[in-house]
């Protein structure tokens, strides 16, 4: 089995990486650790936090299968703790993990000159104005005008991303088996003059959101990546046709993760 590793840059994570490598070498199975970006691994091992996993999926893309070891606080995408490395390698040896697939957000960024850039995110797309002034965006759903948003920003999250930035703006938590995207507002202006729905919207996989952008420069965030874009005319978003695959070697129900992350000690 060819394994690629993506690490958070800290001493403890590097220590865990060394321990894992030793245990894989000592195993009765043959594991090959690959570190050439061009080579396709059978499994990508993310060691770090949720951000490390997000980095890994953008590095190795939608054809790979992922598993995470968290070296900080409990992660949403990582199943294994550093003290469980023996169990982890034993589970790898036994093989036959359940493959769980998480939907992505697909978006096309249409520029004023007619060109188009296709992007995807595992957590979310974020649109904000490039400066501190108001973001102004006309929102269309399935080609019909819905509202004109004025405020700090908009988030289009995937189900697995619904517990991240989306949750911080009071969006709903959506189970990752539901193929949907969620549109949430960041600080919308709602008064006698301007009005938005001011609730999060959950859209099914056959629906499309279109944002017509009024600002000359906006900030676009896709998971960890963020950049200022000039002359964006419109952005369309839908549920991605590809999902991110996770190898699950033990049962960790989604609602248990939610409870452990946000409620339990």
- Interacting residues with ligand NAD (CB under 6 A): 49-51, 54, 75-76, 123-124, 160-161, 163-165, 168, 223-224
For residue 182, which phi and psi values (nearest 5 degrees)?
A: -125, 130
Task: Name every residue whose Cβ is closer than 8 Å to that of residue 172 and which is 6 or more positions away in sequence.
Answer: 162, 182, 200, 202
CA 153 to chain centre: 18
What is d(CA 123, CA 157) in angstroms, rounded to the nearest whole number?
Answer: 6
Q: What is the number of the residue whose Cβ is closest to ligand NAD? A: 51
How far, in Å, CA of 31 to CA of 15, rounded?
Answer: 19
Q: At its nearest, how many Å lie between ligand NAD and the CB of residue 214?
A: 23
Cβ distance to ligand NAD smaller for residue 224 or 233:
224
Q: Which listed residue (11, 42, 50, 87) is catalytic?
A: 50
Question: Least separation, in Å, of the C-beta of 25 and ligand NAD?
Answer: 30
Nearest distance in Å: CB 54, ligand NAD:
6
Of 58, 100, 61, the C-alpha closest to 79 is: 100
Residue 50 annotated in active site: yes
CB-based contact 137:127 (threshold 8 Å): yes
| C-alpha dihedral sign at 178, 184, 190, 194 | negative
The residue (of 10 and 145) whose beta carbon lies closer to ligand NAD is: 10
CB nearer to ligand NAD: pick between 93 and 101: 101
Nearest residue (CB) to ligand NAD, 44 versus 54: 54
| Contact predicate 209/140, CB 8 Å | yes
Residues known to be catalytic = 50
């Amino acid at each position: 089995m060819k394994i690629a590793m993506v690490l958070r840059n800290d001493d403890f994570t590097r220590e865990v990486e060394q321990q894992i490598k030793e245990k894989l070498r000592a195993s009765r199975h043959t594991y090959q650790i690959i570190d050439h970006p061009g080579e396709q691994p059978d499994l990508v091992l993310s060691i770090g936090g949720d951000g490390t996993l997000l980095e890994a999926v953008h590095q190795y893309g939608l054809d790979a299968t992922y598993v995470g070891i968290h070296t900080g606080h409990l992660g949403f995408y990582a199943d294994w703790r550093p003290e469980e490395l023996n169990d982890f390698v034993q589970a790898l040896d036994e093989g036959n993990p359940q493959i769980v697939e998480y939907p992505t957000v697909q978006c096309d960024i249409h520029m004023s000159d007619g060109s188009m850039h296709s992007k995807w995110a595992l957590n979310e797309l974020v649109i904000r104005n490039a400066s501190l002034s108001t973001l102004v965006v006309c929102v269309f759903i399935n080609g019909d005008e819905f509202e004109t948003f004025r405020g700090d920003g908009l988030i289009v999250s995937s189900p697995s991303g619904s517990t991240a930035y989306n949750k911080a703006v009071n969006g709903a938590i959506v189970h990752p088996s539901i193929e949907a995207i969620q549109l949430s507002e960041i600080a919308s202006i709602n008064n006698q003059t301007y009005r938005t729905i001011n609730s999060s919207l959950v859209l099914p996989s056959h629906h499309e959101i279109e944002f017509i952008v009024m600002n000359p420069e906006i900030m676009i965030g896709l998971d960890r990546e963020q950049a200022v874009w000039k002359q964006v005319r419109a952005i369309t978003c839908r549920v991605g046709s590809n999902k991110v695959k996770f190898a699950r070697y033990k049962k960790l129900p989604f609602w248990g993760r939610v409870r452990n992350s946000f409620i339990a000690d």
